[in-house]
Chains A and B, each alone.
Chain A
Amino acid sequence: MAAADSPSATLRRRDLCSRGIRLAGKMRSDVVDLLDTYVERQGLDASASVAAVEGVPVAAAERWDEQTGTQRLLENLAAYRAFRALLAQMLEEQREQLGEADAALGRALAAVLLQVSAFTYHLEELLRLESRGPPSEEEAEPPPSPHLSLFERKLRGLGVLRELAQWAVRSARDLRQLAKPSPGSSSVPSPAESP
Chain B
Amino acid sequence: DSHIQYERVGADVTMKCGSMDWDAAVTWTANGTDIDESHLNGSYLILKNVDLTQSGQYSCYEGSSWHLKYQTYLRVGTPPKEPVLMCRSNNYPKGFYCSWHLPTPTYIPNSFNISVIHGTREMVCEKDVFPKNRCHIRYLQLFSTVKYKVTLTVTNALGKNSTTVTFDEFAIVKPDPPESVVAKPVPNNPRRLEVSWQNPSSWPDPESFPLKFFLRYRPLILEQWQHV
Contact = CB atoms under 8 A, between A and B. Distances in A.
Interface of A: 58-62, 64-65, 162-163, 166-167, 169-170, 173, 176-177, 180
A62 B141 contact: yes
A173 B146 contact: no
14 contacts: A60-B145, A60-B146, A62-B141, A64-B142, A163-B145, A166-B143, A166-B144, A167-B143, A169-B143, A170-B143, A173-B209, A176-B209, A176-B210, A180-B208
Contact of B143 (A64, A176, A177, A180): A64
Given A163-B145, A173-B209, 20 more contacts: A59-B144, A60-B141, A60-B142, A60-B143, A60-B144, A60-B145, A60-B146, A61-B141, A61-B142, A64-B142, A65-B93, A162-B145, A166-B143, A166-B144, A167-B143, A169-B143, A169-B170, A170-B142, A176-B210, A177-B208
A13 B141 CA distance: 27
A163 B208 CA distance: 20
A176 B145 contact: no
B228 interface: no
B140 interface: yes
B142 A176 contact: no
Contacts of B146: 60
B207 interface: yes
Nearest to B146: A60
Interface of B: 93, 140-146, 170, 207-210
Nearest to B168: A166
Q: Which of A61, A163, A173 has the most CB of B within 10 A?
A: A173
A59 B143 contact: yes
A163 B145 CA distance: 7
Instruction: Sort A-B residue pairs by CB-CB distance and give the 4 closest, nearest first.
Output: A60-B144, A59-B143, A170-B143, A64-B142
A158 to B, nearest CB: 11
A166 B145 CA distance: 7
Contacts of B143: 59-61, 64, 166-167, 169-170
Contacts of A65: 93
A187 B2 CA distance: 66
A46 to B, nearest CB: 13
Nearest to A49: B147
A106 B140 CA distance: 37
A166 B168 CA distance: 11
B141 to A, nearest CB: 5
A173 to B, nearest CB: 5
B120 to A, nearest CB: 11
B158 to A, nearest CB: 37
Contacts of A58: 145
Contact of A173 (B140, B145, B208): B208
A176 B143 CA distance: 15
Nearest to B140: A62
Contacts of A61: 141-143
Nearest to A64: B142
Nearest to B147: A49
Contacts of A163: 145
Contacts of B170: 169
A162 B143 CA distance: 11
Contacts of A173: 208-209
